[in-house]
Each structure stands twice: as C-alpha cells, then as structure tokens.
Structure 1
Amino acid sequence: MAYQQIDGVRVWGTPDEGALAQAKRCAKTGNVVQTLLMADHHKGYSQPIGGVIAYDGQISPSGVGYDIACGNKAVRTGLLADEIKPKLNIIMDEISRRVSFGIGRVNHERVDHELFDDPDWAVYKAIGTQEHDKLKALAQSQLGTVGSGNHFVDIFEEVGTGRVWVANHFGSRGFGHKTASGFINLAAGRPFLANAPGEKMDQPPVLLDLSSELGDMYYRAMKLAGRYAYAGRDYVIRQVLDILGTDANLEVHNHHNFAWIEQHSGKEVVVVRKGATPSAPGQVGFIGGSMGDISVIVRGKDSEENREAYYSTVHGAGRIMSRTQAAGRMNWKTRKRSGGQITTEQMHKAVRDFGVELRGAGTDESPYVYRKLQDVLDAHAETIEVLHVLKPIGVCMAGADEFDPYKD
C-alpha cells in the first residue's frame, strides 16, 4: 500500500506535522470510524485540508468547513486551442469583464433559479424569519459569483489532442459561509446570526448527531448549499461558453468540501471530505494544479487501496506556503502588504514562462506556493487513473488584495 499508518491515521504522501496533529485530534473526537490524509494535505481550521473522516452517525459542520460544497466543474468543447490562441488576450479580457470575481457582482444580472423554491429553505424558516430572509437574499445576490482566494475560471488545452476545456473552482459563497457559522453557533448555544468568536486552527471538530434535530437540519442545509454551488458553477461555465461561442460535449462536476452518507465495508458511515475529491470506482473528477502547472481529469479505480482510502483522493496540489508567507501581511487601511516572500514580478514571469494568459490573482496564488500536482497524483496511483491532462492557457481570478470574507 502507498499510504502510511500513523497512530491510526492513514497518510498518503509526505506527512505534514501540523496537519497530522489535527488529524490525530479529529480521530479522538466523536464516533470516528477512520481518519485519512490525502497527499495534498495541509493545515485547515479544525479538520485539515486534504483530510477525510468517516463517522458513525455524526456530521461535522467545522469538518465540511465554511466554503460548503466548494468544488470544480470542467467541460470539454469542440474547439481546438490553436483556434483561440490568436485572440486569447481578448477572450480573457471578456471573461474578467463579464464574470463576477470577488465579493460583488460586476454584471448586475440577477440570476433566477428554481433552487430558490427548494423545500429545504424551510430549514432556515424553522430557525427564524430573519435568518431565512437574510440568507436567501444573500444567496440570490451572489449566485454565479466566483469569489477570490484560490477560486478561478480557467481555459485549458488538453495535452495530446489540443482540445479546449473550460473549468471553474468555487463553492456556495456567503450563503454557505453563513450557514456553516450559523450551525457552529447553534451547536455552541449561540444565536444563528451571532458574531461567533471564530474557530481556532487546532480546536476539536464540532460534531452533530445526524439523528438529532440540529444534525438533520444541518445536513439538509448543507445539501441545499451543495445544489446552490452546482447552480453557480453551471452559470459561470455557460457564461464562458457563450464568450467562446461553443458548447460542451463532456462535463465533469464534483464537490470537495462536503459530507456524504456512504457504505464502506458493509457499514453506513458519514464521510466528511475537506479538500478531498470522491473517487468511487468509475467516478470521474477534476483535480486542479496551480496556474503554472497541469490539471487532470481522473477516474476512481476498483482497487483495494481505493477502498481503504474510503474512495477519496486529492483535490489539488496542496499548499506548501501560507498566504501570509507568500504575499505578506495586509494593512487594510493603507491597502499595502509587507513581508511577502514572492514578488509580483516573480509570479508573472513563472506564469508567462508556462504560456498562460493571466488576469487577476495575487502572489498568494502563485505557482511557488503549491506542490507539483504530479507528485501528489503519484502518491495515489493505485486509487485513480488519469484520463486527460490539461495545461492552462488562460487563468482568471479575483484581483490581488481583493477583500472577500468568503474566499476560502
């Protein structure tokens, strides 16, 4: 097997001591069946990113995290990269103009969706009219916005065929963030919309019994946030396909911050994946690298190691440098950073050398802050197979220093 067993935690790749300590703490809290770390793991809030925990009858709002249902949609088009490269700068300008990055909306287009008639909005009604109305209005205002941080809209060239792919990465925006903080508040006996003290990196996970009223309400709210994230990613992909003047002939869509009720070893468990992609046998997923690296379309293998991974794999390359280390500390009064290890010039040179037309992005998202994707894929070679290798040719993200409380 390619993983190590460290104090009961199954670890793929090189162990990160901070994330491993978090995983061990999670393993000792609640009705844990198994704790795992994917090869892209690093520290998160409470549950490490790249961490997978299977519970017996429990669910963790802090484990799923604040960006509920963050994930990727990727589509293959009938276009060839050579057809669009001569006008790629114009295309990327149009994407940055029409797609809303950061906290606001640039196109002022209200996105109506049947999701807003979903019966699970009753969960918020049961909490209170004010909570329901506030979250629904926030969800309606932000549907189809990408946010900032590591969230993106990319154009790729498939290695070997030259086919054009379009992909995006974001989740349930402020709606998901308020849902997560609200249920963490309720679990602690605070009002849903209270100003929470905030999670500490190394606190134990917040757990709810799935059979309890609060646990059932969170599970339903989480799934609603998941449908919301899907609707947002669908909308943004349609915007980009319209800019390109083409359609999709293949699509891949998946969450990587979510909890699923699944069967493993003949037992029903709740699998909480934070920054981890589901990889059941035959299941297809998108795994993104940095803006100066490949991304891939993968398929889960029917293998013993994949079963022992609880059908989970990496969601990206994994950070090796924090945002503050890379970009420096931000003074929001002066809107200037100091102390960063990566300069804007270094980032732009690396991206230019890789052949990418870049819009937006800060140095905290430069290629220097991530592992090489192939290294983490190699650690999971017995659990997934790579179907398509994608090289970015256009990357669009929020601008550097964009303030967005929902970005991670």
Structure 2
Amino acid sequence: MAYQTINGVRVWGNPDEGALSQAITCSNTGKVMQTLLMADHHKGYSQPIGGVVVYEGQISPSGVGYDIACGNKAVRTNLYAKDVKPGLSKIMDKIARNISFGVGRVNSKKVDHALFDDPDWSVYAAIGTQEHDKLKSLARDQLGTVGSGNHYVDIFEEAATGRIWIGNHFGSRGFGHKTASGFINLAAGRAFLANAPGEKMDQPPVLLNIDSELGDMYYRAMKLAGRYAYAGRDYVIEEVLAILGAEADMEVHNHHNYAWKETHNGIETVVVRKGATPSAPGQLGFIGGSMGDISVIVKGKDTAENREAYYSTVHGAGRIMSRTQAAGKMNWKKRTRSGGQISTAQMLEAVRNFGVELRGAGTDESPFVYRKLQQVLDAHAETIEVLHVLRPIGVCMAGADEFDPYKD
C-alpha cells in the first residue's frame, strides 16, 4: 500500500506535522471509524485540508468548513488551441470584465435561479426570519460570483489532443460561510448570527449527531449550499462558453469540501472530506494544479487501496507556503504589504514561462506556494487513473489585494 499509518491515521505522501496533529485530534473526538490524510494535506481550521474523517452517526460543521461545497467544474469544448490562442489575450480580458471576481458583484448581472424556491430554505426560516432573509439576500447577491483567494476561471489545452477545456473553482460564497459559522454558533449555544469568538486552528471538531434536530438542519443546509455552489459554477462555465462561442461535449463536476452519507464495510457512515475529492470506482473528478502546473481529469479505481482510502483522493497540489509567507503581511489601512518571500516579478516570470495569459492573482497564489501536482497524484496512483492532462493557457483570478472574507 502507498500509505502509512501513523497513530491510526492513514497518510498518503509526506506527513505534515501540523496537519497530522490535527488529524489525530479528529480521530480522538467523536464516533470516528477512520481518519485519513491525502497527499496534498496541510493545516486547516480544526480538520486539516486534505483531511477525511469517517463518522458513525455524526457530522462536523467545522470539518466541512466555512467554504461549504467548494469544488471544481470542468468542461471539454468543441474548440482546439489553434482556434483560441491567436485571440487569447482579448478572451481573457473579456472573462475578467464579464465575470465577478472578489467579494462583490461589480461587472455582471444578478442571476435568478429556481434554487431560491427550494424547500430547504425552511431550515433558515425555522431559525428565524432575520436569519432567513439575511442569508437568502446574500445568496442572491453573490450567485455566479467567483470570489478570491485560490478561486479561478481557467482556459486549458488538453495535452494529448489540443482540445480546449474550461475549468473553475469556487464554493457557496458568503451564504455557505454564514451557514457554517451560524451552525457552529448554535452548537456552542450562541445566536446564529453572533460573531464567533476567536476559534483556534487546532481546536477539536464541532460535532452534531446526524439524527438530532440540529444535525438534520445542518445537513439540509449544507446540501442547499451544495446545490447553490453547483448553480454558481454552472453559470460561470456557461458565461465562458458564450465568450468563446463554444459548446461542451463533456463535463466533470464535484465538491471537495462536503459531507456525504456513504456505506463502507457494511456500515452507514458520514464521510467528511475537506479538500478531498470523492473517487468511487468509475467516478470522475477534476483536480486543479497551480497556475503554472497541469490539472487533470481522473477516474476512481476499483482497488483495495481505494477502498481503504474510503474512496477519497487529492483536490489539488497542496500548499507548501502560507499566504502570509508568500505575499507578506497586509496593512489594510495603508493598502501595503511587507515581508513576502515571493515577488510579483518572480510570479509573472514563472507564469509567462509556462505559457499562461494571466489576469489578476497575487503572489500568495503563485506556482511557488504549491507542490507539483504530479507528485501528489503519484502517491495515489493505486486509487485513481488520470484520463486527461490539461495545461492552463489562460488564468483569471481576483486581484492581488482583493479583501474577501469568503475566499477559502
């Protein structure tokens, strides 16, 4: 097997001490069947990024995290790189103009959607009218916006065929963030809309019994946030297809911050994946690298190791440098940064050398802050098959100093 077991935690790739410590804490809290670390793991809030915790009868709002249903969508188009590259600069300009990156909606129309009539909005109505109205209004305001941080819209060239793919990465935006903080508040006896106290990165997970009233409410709210994230990614992909004048003939769409009810070893479980992609046999997944690296479409294998991974794999390359290490500390009053290890010139040179037309992005998202994707894929070679290798030729993200509390 390609993994090692450390204090009961199954670890793929090179163990990160901080993430492993968090995973062990998760293992020792609640009704846990198994805790795992994917090869792209690093520290997160309560449950590590790249961490998977398998519970019996429990669900963890802190495990799913604040960016509920963050995930990826990729579509293969009917175009080829030779059709797109001559006008790529103008295409990327148009994507940056027509799609909203960052915290607000600055350059695109509000999106109406049947989702706003979904019966699960009753969860919020049961909490209170103010809570329902505030979150629904926020959801309406942000549907179809991409956000900032590591959230992107990319144009890819498939290595083997030259076909053009479109990919994006973001979640349920402020609606999901407020949902997560609201249920974490309720679990601690605080008001849903209260300001949460300064939670520590290494605190034990917040757990709810899935069959309790609060646990069922959270599960329904999480699923609504998941449908909302799908709707947002669908909208953005359709907008980019329209910009390209293209049609899609294949799509891959998956969450990687979510909790799934699954049966493993004959036992009904709740699998909380934070920064981990589901990889059941035959299941497709889109795994993104950095802006200076490949991305891939994968398929889960029917192997003993994949079963022992609880059908989970990586969601990306995984950070090796924090945002502050890379970009420095931001003084929001002066709008200045200091102390960063990566310069803008270094980032732009690396991206240019890789052949990418870049719009936006800060040095905290530069290729230097991530592992090479192939390294983490190799660690999971017995669990997933790589079907398509994609090279980014156009990357669009929020600007370097865009403040967005919902970005990760």
TM-score range, shorter chain: over 0.9
Q: How does 1:112-191 map to 2 (within 5 A)?
A: 112-191=112-191
Distance in structure 1 (CA, Å) of the matches to 2:358 and 2:119: 41
Structure 1 equivalent of residue 225 of structure 2: 225
Matched, 1:80 2:80: yes
CA contact (8 A) 2:100 2:108 kept: no
Structure-2 residue corresponding to 1:403: 403
Aligned to 2:97: 97
- Cα offset, 1:160, TM superposition: 1.3
Partner-residue secondary structure (3-state), 1:376: helix
- The one-letter code of the counterpart of 1:313 is T
C-alpha displacement of 1:82: 1.1
Q: Which whole-Å CA distance do the structure 2 matches of 1:248 and 1:140 have between them?
A: 27
Q: CA deviation at 1:107?
A: 2.7
Match of 2:315 in 1: 315
How many Å separate the matches in 2 of 1:84 and 1:198?
A: 48
Equivalent runs, 1:220-299 vs 2, <5 Å: 220-299=220-299
Q: Deviations over 1:12-47 (max 9, x none)?
A: 000000000000000000000000000000000000
User: 1:382 corresponds to which residue?
Assistant: 382
The separation in 1 between residues aligned to 2:14 and 2:185, in whole angstroms, is 35
How many Å separate the matches in 1 of 2:8 and 2:54? 13
Provide, for residues 295-350 of structure 1, a one-character-per-residue CA deviation record: whole Å limited to 9, x for no partner.
00000000000000000000000000000000000000001100000000000000
- The answer to whether the 8 A contact 2:147-2:407 is kept is yes
Hey, what's the Cα distance between the residues in 2 that align with 1:54 and 1:64?
12
Q: Structure 2: which amino acid aligns with 1:340?
A: G
SS in 1 for 2:277: strand
Aligned mates of 1:106, 1:185 — CA distance in 2:
31
2:193 maps to which residue? 193
1:150-196: CA deviations, max 9, x gaps? 00000000001000000000000000000000000000000000011
**Contiguous gaps of at least 5 residues in structure 2:** none
SS in 2 for 1:145: coil
Contact 1:59 1:259 survives alignment (8 Å): yes
Contact 1:46 1:199 in 2 (8 A): no
CA deviation map 1:344-372 (0-9, x unaligned)? 00000000000000000000000000000
Q: CA deviation at 1:108?
A: 4.3
Q: Aligned AA for 1:197?
A: P
Q: Give CA-to-partner distance per residue, 1:58-80, whole Å, 9 cap, x none.
A: 00000000000000000000100
Distance 2:243 2:370 in 1: 30
Contact kept? 1:80, 1:164, Cα under 8 Å: yes
Give distance in 2, aligned partners of 1:356 and 1:251.
23
SS where residue 310 of structure 1 aligns? coil
| Contact residue 99 and residue 108 of structure 2 kept, 8 A | no
- Listed as ranges, the matches of 1:316-395 within 5 Å are 316-395=316-395
Assess if the C-alpha contact under 8 Å between 1:329 and 1:337 holds in 2.
Answer: yes
2:98/2:108 contact within 8 Å kept: no
Q: What is the distance in 2 between the residues matched to 1:134 and 1:48?
A: 30
- TM-score w.r.t. structure 1 length? 1.00
SS in 2 for 1:147: coil
Partner of 1:204: 204
Paired amino acid for 1:5: T
- Mapped partners of 2:78, 2:38: distance in 1: 34
- The AA in structure 1 aligned to 2:293 is D
Kept in 1, the 8 Å contact 2:154–2:168? The answer is: yes
Displacement after TM superposition at 1:106 (Å): 2.1
Separation (CA, whole Å) in 1 of partners of 2:196 and 2:161 = 50
Q: Sequence identity, in percent?
A: 82
Once the two structures are TM-superposed, the CA of residue 198 in structure 1 deviates from its matched residue by 3.3
- 8 A Cα contact 1:98 1:106, kept in partner: no
What is the deviation of 1:199? 2.4
2 CA distance for matches of 1:396 and 1:198? 33
**Partners of 1:366 and 1:401 in 2: how far apart?**
14
CA contact (8 A) 2:41 2:51 kept: yes
Amino acid at match of 1:153: V
Secondary structure in 1 matching 2:146: strand
> One-letter code of the match for 2:84?
I
Tell me, in whole angstroms, the C-alpha distance in 1 between the residues paired with 2:225 and 2:398: 22
Question: Number of aligned pairs?
Answer: 408
Alpha-carbon distance, 1:405 to partner: 0.3
Distance of 2:108 and 2:321 partners within structure 1: 36
Distance in 2 (alpha carbons) for counterparts of 1:338 and 1:108: 33
Q: Is the contact made by 1:151 and 1:407 (CA closer than 8 Å) also made in structure 2?
A: yes
Cα distance in 1 for partners of 2:336, 2:107 equals: 28
User: SS at the partner of 1:153?
Assistant: strand
Shift of residue 230, structure 1, vs aligned partner: 0.1
Which whole-Å CA distance do the structure 1 matches of 2:104 and 2:216 have between them? Answer: 32
